[in-house]
């Protein structure tokens, strides 16, 4: 699998708990919801619903750590921090938020069981 924008292969992102049989079902539920969460996040961005962007990123930050995806948690924390740091009222803050959301969504799309 390769990223159409580059010639580099997309490296799957696996949970730190992927080999734990007790986590299999829970990981499946979390991974199964990621597409819905990222779609909601992208829709909130398009609608400039900053409170919703913050809430979704906060939820992803907390949940992803518990399911063994610290990279997603760190990216979600950055999104949350940009929104919390002040109003998204100028081009610079919007660009920073957009870049952070794109990074978060890209990480979520790499998740594999």
User: Is 90 exceeded by the pLDDT of residue 1?
Assistant: no
CB 112 within 8 A of CB 14: yes
Residue 79: give its domain's CATH number: 1.20.120.160
Residue range(s) defining the domain that contains residue 70:
21-109
Whole-model pTM over 0.85: yes
Alpha-carbon distance values, 55 to 28, 60, 62, 76, 91 (Å): 22, 9, 11, 10, 22
In a domain, 32, yes or no: yes
Give Cβ neighbours of residue 58 (< 8 Å, ≥ 6 apart): 76, 80
In a domain, 16, yes or no: no
In a domain, 56, yes or no: yes
pLDDT digits (tens, 9 = 90+) for 54-106: 999 999 999 999 999 999 999 999 999 999 998 998 999 999 999 999 999 99
In a domain, 14, yes or no: no
Closest CA to 35 of 110, 93, 87, 109: 109
User: Is 70 exceeded by the pLDDT of residue 4?
Assistant: no
- Three-state secondary structure of 18-65: CCCHHHHHHHHHHHHHHHHHHHHHHHHHHCCCHHHHHHHHHHHHHHHH
CB 41 within 8 A of CB 77: no
Closest CA to 57 of 39, 73, 34: 73
């Amino acid at each position: 699998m390769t990223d159409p924008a580059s010639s580099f292969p997309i490296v799957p992102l696996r949970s730190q708990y992927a080999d734990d049989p007790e986590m299999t079902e829970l990981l499946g539920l979390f991974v199964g919801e990621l597409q819905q969460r990222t779609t909601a996040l992208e829709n909130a961005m398009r609608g400039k619903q900053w409170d919703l962007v913050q809430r979704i990123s906060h939820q992803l930050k907390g949940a992803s750590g518990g399911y063994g995806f610290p990279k997603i948690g760190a990216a979600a924390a950055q999104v949350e921090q940009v929104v919390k740091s002040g109003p998204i009222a100028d081009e610079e803050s919007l660009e920073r938020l957009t870049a952070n959301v794109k990074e978060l969504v890209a990480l979520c799309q790499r998740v594999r069981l």
